[in-house]
């Protein structure tokens, strides 16, 4: 990293401990912190208790899970700012407000300045920490792309972390902001991403593969439709006419055919759950355009309209072929049945 003005990497053997500074001071409902506690592959307990071979000792500083309070908790962030924590990872939750679009006050803050007694804005903490961090992870759609707080007409000027830092920003690992969207983020998605970051910092894996939006490619390369249990009904144009149905929900407003999300394939927790799996439509909560480009949620999206108009003729033929094939194979061969002569 010569010429960048940043410290060079230490050898993997020297990385004995890693600190995760999890900031919940963005504009947020804190649902991503709650969601993270439901992860199982891996669980937060597995990471913190050292049950995963090869991982350095991990210290998590999350205001909802920490036993320290007040200045005792804030001290870890001051240490990171002073360069006394090395290495550390920043996980940011919530959208970033624009503190320059008003004459007075602030939108979001985290802690109190010890000298002035005034709140330290969230934006100031971002500026203090991210340039020292080995990696920066945006947890949830608000942190990734602005989310709910960045809807058209909002007074805060909310934006995603990558928009705040700039497209060319890179961490000490030479990685952009790692975006793990979801409203909230899927439990295993965020923990698996953190695990990949920790393995990379320890020198055990290569750099993390990200798509053009900074999302881990192995988590967000598939559409929700591709893992959905209702896809078979979609293929032969058998659409649900109400939510009390196990059929395809395209006509009920489901955006699963165009949304990058793995919850229909992987489930929500322990392989169970996920919006379409439990009868809910996909509203595109993992996407950069959420929520504005997916509203109103209950209206049939363009993809659903095209599917419902183009598939019926093909769907009827496909259904007939399947019924014929089923009739041929859904019986025992005659030579197994002595009652048939």
Domain ranges of the chain: 15-219, 224-328
Report the run of H or E that residue 119 belongs to, with start and end. strand 119-121
Output the pLDDT for position 5.
Answer: 38
User: Where do the H-state alpha helices sit in the chain?
Assistant: 31-36, 44-48, 70-81, 122-129, 141-145, 161-165, 187-201, 217-220, 231-235, 263-266, 302-329
Q: Which of helix, strand or coil describes residue 248?
A: strand
Output the pLDDT for position 322.
Answer: 67
- For 20, the token pair is 């995760």
Domains 15-219 and 224-328 share a fold: no
Alpha-carbon distance 233 to 230, whole Å? 6
Chain centroid to CA 121: how far? 25
Q: Which residues of the chain have pLDDT under 50?
A: 1-13
CATH topology of domain 15-219: Rossmann fold (3.40.50)
Residues 6+ apart with CB under 8 A from 45: 51
Output the pLDDT for position 313.
Answer: 63
DSSP of 48-115: HTT-STTPPEEEEE-TTT-S--HHHHHHHHHHHHTT-S-SEEEEEESBBP-TTSSSSS-S-EEEE-TT
Alpha-carbon distance 82 to 102, whole Å? 30
Burial zone of 98 (CB within 10 Å; 0-12 exposed, 13-18 middle, 19+ buried): middle
Output the pLDDT for position 242.
Answer: 87
Q: What angle do CA 261, 265, 268 make, to 5 degrees?
A: 80
CATH topology of domain 224-328: Cytochrome-c3 Hydrogenase; Chain A, domain 2 (4.10.480)
Residues 6+ apart with CB under 8 A from 21: 61, 76, 77, 80, 85, 88, 89, 90, 91, 129, 133
| Entry pTM | 0.86
Output the pLDDT for position 329.
Answer: 73
Alpha-carbon distance 32 to 60, whole Å? 15
């Amino acid at each position: 990293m010569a010429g960048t003005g940043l410290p060079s990497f230490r050898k993997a053997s020297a990385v004995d401990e890693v600190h995760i500074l999890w900031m919940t001071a963005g504009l947020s409902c804190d649902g991503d912190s709650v969601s993270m506690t439901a992860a199982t592959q891996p669980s937060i307990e597995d990471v913190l208790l050292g049950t995963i071979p090869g991982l350095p000792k991990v210290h998590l500083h999350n205001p909802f899970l920490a036993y320290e309070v007040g200045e005792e908790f804030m001290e870890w962030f001051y240490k990171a700012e002073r360069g006394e924590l090395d290495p550390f990872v920043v996980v940011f939750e919530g959208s970033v407000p624009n503190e320059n679009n008003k004459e007075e006050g602030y939108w979001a803050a985290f802690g109190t300045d010890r000298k002035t007694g005034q709140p330290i804005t969230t934006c100031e903490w971002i500026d203090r920490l991210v340039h020292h961090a080995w990696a920066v992870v945006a947890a949830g759609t608000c942190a990734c792309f602005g989310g709910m707080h960045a809807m058209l007409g909002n007074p805060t000027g909310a934006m995603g972390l990558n928009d705040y830092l700039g497209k060319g920003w890179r961490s000490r690992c030479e990685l952009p902001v790692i975006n793990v969207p979801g409203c909230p983020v899927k439990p295993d998605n965020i923990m698996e991403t953190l695990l990949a970051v920790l393995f990379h910092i320890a020198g055990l894996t290569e750099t993390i593969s990200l798509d053009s939006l900074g999302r881990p490619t192995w988590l967000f390369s598939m559409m929700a439709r591709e893992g959905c249990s209702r896809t078979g009904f979609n293929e032969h144009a058998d659409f649900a006419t109400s939510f009390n149905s196990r059929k395809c929900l395209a006509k009920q407003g489901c955006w699963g055919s165009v949304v990058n999300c793995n919850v229909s394939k992987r489930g929500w927790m322990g392989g169970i759950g996920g919006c379409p799996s439990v009868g809910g439509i996909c509203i595109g909560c993992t996407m950069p355009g959420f929520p504005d480009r997916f509203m109103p949620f209950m209206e049939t999206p363009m993809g659903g309209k095209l599917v419902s108009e183009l598939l019926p003729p093909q769907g009827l033929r496909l259904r007939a072929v399947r019924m014929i094939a089923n009739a041929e194979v859904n019986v025992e061969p005659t030579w197994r049945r002595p009652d048939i002569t």
